[in-house]
């Protein structure tokens, strides 16, 4: 072959490779102008109309298909960014593992969950019952109310400052009075107990501790609380987590809370070396929460099983949902805005986790899923709100002062 033909052939092959998306790379979605096919052995799989990704494997016997339509300019107010979209590319495969959503445009329909109702893995938690209970206005009164083997109903009135961390007994409900009650520089330690409810509290964690630490406990519901600290200042280890679930805890629901301005959000499973205690446990539901300006762990899950639906993520610098050490997560009807690694399965641990995701919105957010999971249907009935509505719904209906307790 003549040298000039060899050079032309090499250049043609190089151009073809460069025009294909690399493994785990983006290959389609609204406004995407890059390659829409993947390198050999990888298939372009749609996550939703904003994002398609190269997933390892075949395309089910058929070629990847794409539909393109003309669109108009779109403005997103989160970062005051205007993007003119010449085309919209939607890439589909025959696998159907991750259905798409068209929630970003047109009508937005779908049911909304009841704001004052327990659902998910924590269903059946009754706490301290329905009595009027004891109202406390000081750290010493709170400590005394929690000193028994069962706490009953404890109502915190006002913001208690500098209490430290108190252990919570079984069969206890702790609720805040009104919209501005809770603990500043204090925390609740739910250790080796069962049947605990924590609701309507503002919680700012102490240095080197969690705002709420669920440790070896079962049947816990954390609902309509607000968690925050000083923001992303200092070092990430200056504070611990906002809400952690560890040491084989099980059957937990975390709902209608607001998490903001912190380094570490919510850790499920504290160590890569704790398989013997955690495997088969750590069943946790997260729904209708907002995570704003939190660096990572939203949640980070080791070994466990997490159902994460109808949450709102905004301005997450490092990672959102991190599935690791064989964890199984089902992620659906969430809205991710400006979230680095909205869903990731190969970060921070020696072994990857698994993820199934469907009907989410990824706005300036990316994903990196190395293993598609087997957890696609939770063992309970539930009502999810559509991803296109969750951020507005959570802004008005999550956090303190919304429910009557």
* 301-341 per-position pLDDT tens digit: 999 999 999 999 999 999 999 999 999 999 999 999 999 99
Q: Is residue 153 part of a domain?
A: yes
Which of 92, 125, 152 represents a domain boundary (last residue)? 92
Q: Is residue 114 part of a domain?
A: no
Selection from 145, 121, 354, 159 nearest residue 252 by Cα = 121
Confidence at residue 137, expressed as pLDDT on a 0 to 100 scale: 98
State whether 183 and 62 are in the same domain: no
State whether 72 and 190 are in the same domain: no
**What single DSSP character describes residue 276?**
H
Which of 32, 61, 92 represents a domain boundary (last residue)? 92
CA–CA distance, 347 with 66 (Å, rounded to integer): 31
Confidence at residue 21, expressed as pLDDT on a 0 to 100 scale: 77
Confidence at residue 67, expressed as pLDDT on a 0 to 100 scale: 31
**52 to 56, 92, 100, 361: CA distances (angstroms):** 13, 8, 10, 12
State whether 83 and 231 are in the same domain: no
- Region of residue 75 (left: phi > 0; alpha: psi -120 to 50; beta: else): beta
Q: Are 259 and 286 in contact (CB under 8 A)?
A: no
Confidence at residue 270, expressed as pLDDT on a 0 to 100 scale: 95
The rounded radius of gyration (Å) of the Cα atoms in the chain is: 23
Confidence at residue 77, expressed as pLDDT on a 0 to 100 scale: 29
Say which CATH number the domain at 199 has: 2.160.20.10
- Quote the distance between the C-alpha of residue 91 and its chain's center: 25
Q: Is residue 405 part of a domain?
A: no
State whether 264 and 204 are in the same domain: yes
State whether 294 and 392 are in the same domain: yes
Question: Residues 88-97, buried b or exposed e (16+ Cβ, 10 A)?
Answer: bbbbbbeeee
Confidence at residue 171, expressed as pLDDT on a 0 to 100 scale: 98
Confidence at residue 312, expressed as pLDDT on a 0 to 100 scale: 98
- Residue 275 binned pLDDT confidence (cut-offs 50, 70, 90): very high
Report the range of poorest mean pLDDT among 73-82, 124-133, 201-210, 342-351: 73-82
| pLDDT tens, residue by residue, 59-81 | 653 333 333 322 222 222 222 22
| pLDDT tens, residue by residue, 23-62 | 656 677 656 678 888 888 878 877 545 567 666 566 653 3
Q: Are 278 and 304 in contact (CB under 8 A)?
A: yes
Confidence at residue 40, expressed as pLDDT on a 0 to 100 scale: 86
Q: Is residue 382 part of a domain?
A: yes
- Residue 131 binned pLDDT confidence (cut-offs 50, 70, 90): confident
Q: How much is the average pLDDT of 159-174? A: 96
Report the range of poorest mean pLDDT among 214-218, 255-259, 260-264: 260-264
Q: How much is the average pLDDT of 216-233? A: 88
| pLDDT tens, residue by residue, 345-391 | 999 999 999 999 999 999 999 999 999 999 999 999 999 999 999 99
Catalytic: 199? no
State whether 314 and 240 are in the same domain: yes
Q: How much is the average pLDDT of 266-271? A: 95
Q: Are 397 and 369 in contact (CB under 8 A)?
A: no
In sign, the C-alpha dihedral spanning 188, 164, 133, 179 is negative
State whether 302 and 194 are in the same domain: yes
**360 to 7, 70, 334, 366: CA distances (angstroms):** 46, 23, 5, 12
Q: Are 300 and 270 in contact (CB under 8 A)?
A: no
State whether 208 and 85 are in the same domain: no
State whether 74 and 151 are in the same domain: no
Structural domain of 67: 23-92
Confidence at residue 51, expressed as pLDDT on a 0 to 100 scale: 60
Residue 210 predicted with pLDDT over 50: yes
Q: How much is the average pLDDT of 265-272? A: 95
State whether 162 and 30 are in the same domain: no
Q: Is residue 319 part of a domain?
A: yes
Q: Are 321 and 329 in contact (CB under 8 A)?
A: yes
Q: How much is the average pLDDT of 174-194? A: 97
Which of 67, 92, 117 represents a domain boundary (last residue)? 92
Confidence at residue 44, expressed as pLDDT on a 0 to 100 scale: 84
Q: Is the pTM of this model over 0.85?
A: no
Which residues are registered as beta bridge partners of 254?
222, 286
State whether 232 and 377 are in the same domain: yes
Q: Is residue 8 part of a domain?
A: no
- Tally of domains in the chain: 2
Confidence at residue 107, expressed as pLDDT on a 0 to 100 scale: 56
State whether 299 and 350 are in the same domain: yes
**297, 302, 324, 337: the active-site residue:** 297
Q: Is residue 120 part of a domain?
A: no
Q: How much is the average pLDDT of 209-236? A: 86
Q: How much is the average pLDDT of 264-288? A: 96
Q: How much is the average pLDDT of 80-86? A: 25
E-assigned strand segments in 342-404? 343-344, 354-358, 361-363, 367-368
Q: Is residue 178 part of a domain?
A: yes
């Amino acid at each position: 072959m003549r040298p000039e033909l060899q050079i032309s052939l090499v250049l043609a092959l190089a151009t073809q490779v460069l025009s294909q998306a690399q493994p785990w790379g983006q290959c389609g979605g609204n406004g995407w102008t890059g390659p829409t096919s993947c390198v050999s052995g990888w298939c372009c799989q749609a996550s939703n109309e904003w994002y398609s990704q190269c997933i390892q494997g075949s395309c089910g016997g058929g070629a990847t298909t794409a539909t393109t339509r003309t669109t108009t300019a779109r403005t997103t107010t989160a970062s005051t960014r205007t993007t003119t979209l010449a085309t919209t590319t939607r890439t589909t495969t025959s696998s159907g593992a991750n259905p798409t959503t068209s929630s970003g445009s047109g009508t937005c329909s779908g049911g909304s969950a009841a704001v004052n109702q327990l659902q998910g893995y924590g269903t059946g938690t009754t706490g301290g019952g329905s009595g009027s209970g004891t109202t406390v206005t000081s750290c010493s009164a709170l400590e005394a109310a929690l000193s028994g083997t069962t706490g009953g109903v404890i109502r915190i009135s006002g913001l208690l400052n500098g209490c430290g961390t108190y252990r919570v007994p079984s069969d206890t409900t702790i609720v805040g009075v009104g919209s501005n009650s809770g603990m500043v520089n204090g925390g609740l330690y739910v250790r080796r107990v069962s049947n605990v409810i924590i609701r309507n509290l503002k919680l700012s964690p102490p240095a080197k501790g969690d705002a709420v630490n669920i440790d070896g406990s079962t049947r816990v519901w954390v609902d309509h609380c607000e968690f925050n600290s000083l923001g992303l200042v200092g070092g990430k280890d200056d504070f611990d987590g906002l809400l952690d679930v560890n040491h084989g805890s099980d059957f937990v629901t975390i709902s209608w809370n607001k998490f903001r301005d912190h380094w570490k959000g919510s850790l499920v499973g504290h160590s890569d070396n704790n398989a013997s205690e955690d495997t088969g446990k750590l069943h946790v539901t997260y729904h209708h929460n907002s995570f704003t300006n939190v660096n990572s762990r939203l949640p980070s899950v080791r070994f466990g099983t997490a159902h994460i639906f109808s949450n709102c993520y905004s301005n997450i610098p490092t990672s959102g949902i991190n599935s690791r050490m064989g964890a199984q997560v089902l992620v659906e009807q969430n809205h991710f805005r400006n979230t680095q690694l909205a869903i990731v399965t190969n970060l921070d641990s020696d072994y990857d986790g698994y993820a199934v995701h469907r009907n989410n919105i990824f706005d300036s957010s990316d994903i990196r899923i190395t293993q598609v999971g087997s957890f696609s249907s939770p063992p309970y009935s539930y009502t999810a709100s559509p991803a296109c509505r969750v951020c507005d719904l959570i802004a008005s209906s999550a956090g303190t002062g919304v429910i009557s307790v």
